[in-house]
Structure 1
């Protein structure tokens, strides 16, 4: 007996193949890269202002974070040879190629800076490595935003203007949080200021990004991404307020603030990651913006029509 026919169509099915990246590896890679890059800046500033304990904490944090970031990337790729293959050519138009070379140059500098500081030897070499790592630090902290927004994933791609600023602020709060947890409270003045500035940049840029993105911002407001991002906003705000307040000079309060900042920064990266995956799974985030752009282009061709928005 022939079974009853069942109707099916492509309607509602994903248009994009969602990223196959492992959440723990790649979201962790995004988080640790920001922590490393901002920690290098903090280490250089601490060294320049004669705060040796803060400089050592930030320097060790940068070296440890970038090492773990590379480990997470290699684990996602499957074997180290695949990362090394990305260094066979340099392609300035590819964020992945530029990022691979950036990490390859930055990571050894952080290790040299941390090793010479701990050993107390070859200080001129350590100073040069610290300064060089600080020069590369902002790029390390933000290039992953360029990397993910260069994909076709709607909630990442549509945030390409503000996402580097969001990641810069998130990296700054993470670096400040690590310093508040590990460094003596008497030397953490720069870290407390970095926490406030980073929180303002992160939260302000993220809100601006969501307002501008329109429909593509919807995945940030739903599901796991929404839970993580709400936690990120709360933890970052509380951590920055505690660190900047009078209690921030107290060791216990500083540690609580630091943990909140570190956790909030991680929650933001994982929230952005999960929002992107959700947007790739629902075809409306791909189809409707395309229709809007086509309609805007058609209107612009009419007599007296305004040009389409960039």
Structure 2
């Protein structure tokens, strides 16, 4: 008789009736083969197999998992959800998208109010930020053709697909508008020839297009993050876009205050003060509405430190803008604080989402609470626990 490591999981079974055959001497004769169930019973009696009260039921091959505060208690010591393979280049793209989107809105306002220096600087800032962000995104993808593949179709249910088209349309409008201002700044010395007249004709519509796509560019990345299975990102899906848009407004205002003389930065200063209020309120409101476990990565460790300093710098930059924004040095320092605060917010959210994938507690406990809430509400005909 041979045994294997799996025999210990086989429960004892009742023996089958053995066939009887007559022998010449009149005694009964068996077929010489021992029933498998009898073998299991014999192994059980000899201590090779665990006992069971129900021989007709299959035994579990894997023990019931128990979750605590460490990832080692998940299935085979692995996290329940897999974090995306994104690094700091994606976080840099989040920051650049906010600066580009907010700067295009400021540029359009300057275009309408005749603030030429503010319009020029914010247009160039928008184009430069979009370019740096696009380079960071393509670098993270690994091969440039992967970005081209995303442009082959439009999928309305995919934030990545829509975001790619938003980035492409925004970059086109911002590029045309910035080219017109750069040409003027250089005294029309660019070798444009007959294209200069065409550039002047499409400059204003191009600036309007960039402004129209500015808010989606600044906020679609929040939708992209919250559309994943990362517990912290997914739990913040209803409020994270507002945090990103308000963060974009203070980043763009800060860049304008750094690059533009104070005589033309009145719209940027106003947007900065309003943006600081909106950013602080939106962030705190988001954290208050999140699950008490899913919000922990935003409040602890490296992400927690970044989020705390983001709020401090935003408030300091807002106060400096409000009280001393007409002074060139104070305006520049306040603007730098606002840009840094915006970057800290996006890096903090980025790191928190990735950290939340490492501990199964952030996945299991919110799911249990959502399931309990559904049962209290009388929803008992399904087992959906992953969405609210």
TM-score range, shorter chain: over 0.9
Q: Is the 8 A contact 1:196 1:244 kept in 2?
A: yes
SS at match of 1:276: helix
- Among 285, 298, 315, the alignment partner of 1:237 is 315
Distance across 2 between alignment mates of 1:240 and 1:224: 24
- Among 289, 296, 299, the alignment partner of 1:221 is 299
SS at match of 1:287: helix
The gaps in structure 2 that reach 5 residues or longer are 1-64, 66-71, 185-195
Match of 1:3 in 2: none
Distance across 2 between alignment mates of 1:50 and 1:240: 25
Q: Does 1:62 align with 2:126?
A: yes
Match of 1:11 in 2: 73
Q: Is the 8 A contact 1:173 1:262 kept in 2?
A: yes
Distance across 2 between alignment mates of 1:124 and 1:251: 35
TM (normalized to structure 2)? Answer: 0.74
- Among 327, 337, 347, the alignment partner of 1:260 is 337
Cα deviation, 1:162-196, whole Å, max 9, x if unaligned, reads: 10100001100000000000001110000001111
Matches within 5 A, 1:46-61: 46-61=110-125
Match of 2:240 in 1: 163
Q: Is the 8 A contact 1:173 1:261 kept in 2?
A: yes
Q: Is the 8 A contact 1:31 1:266 kept in 2?
A: yes
Match of 1:79 in 2: 143
Match of 1:187 in 2: 264
Distance across 2 between alignment mates of 1:231 and 1:296: 35
Match of 2:352 in 1: 275
- Among 285, 292, 296, the alignment partner of 2:362 is 285
Distance across 2 between alignment mates of 1:298 and 1:181: 54
Cα deviation, 1:98-127, whole Å, max 9, x if unaligned, reads: 001111111111111101011125333211
Match of 1:5 in 2: none
- Among 314, 317, 325, the alignment partner of 1:248 is 325
Q: Is the 8 A contact 1:117 1:123 kept in 2?
A: no
TM (normalized to structure 1)? Answer: 0.92
Matches within 5 A, 1:197-216: 197-214=274-291, 215-216=293-294
Distance across 2 between alignment mates of 1:250 and 1:266: 24
Match of 1:177 in 2: 254
Distance across 2 between alignment mates of 1:118 and 1:64: 13
The farther-off stretch of 249-258 and 11-20 is 11-20
Cα deviation, 1:203-246, whole Å, max 9, x if unaligned, reads: 1111011111022111111100011111111111111111122x
Structure number with greater Rg is 2
Superposed displacement of residue 43, structure 1:
0.1
Q: Is the 8 A contact 1:240 1:257 kept in 2?
A: yes
Q: Which has the higher contact order (CA 8 A, sep 6+)?
A: 1
* Greater fraction helix: 1
Superposed displacement of residue 301, structure 1:
2.4
Superposed displacement of residue 298, structure 1:
2.1
Question: Residues 25 and 302 of structure 1: is their aligned pair in 2 closer, same or farther, counting only changes over 3 Å?
Answer: closer
Match of 1:39 in 2: 103
The farther-off stretch of 95-104 and 291-300 is 291-300
SS at match of 1:104: helix
Match of 1:4 in 2: none
Distance across 2 between alignment mates of 1:199 and 1:44: 21
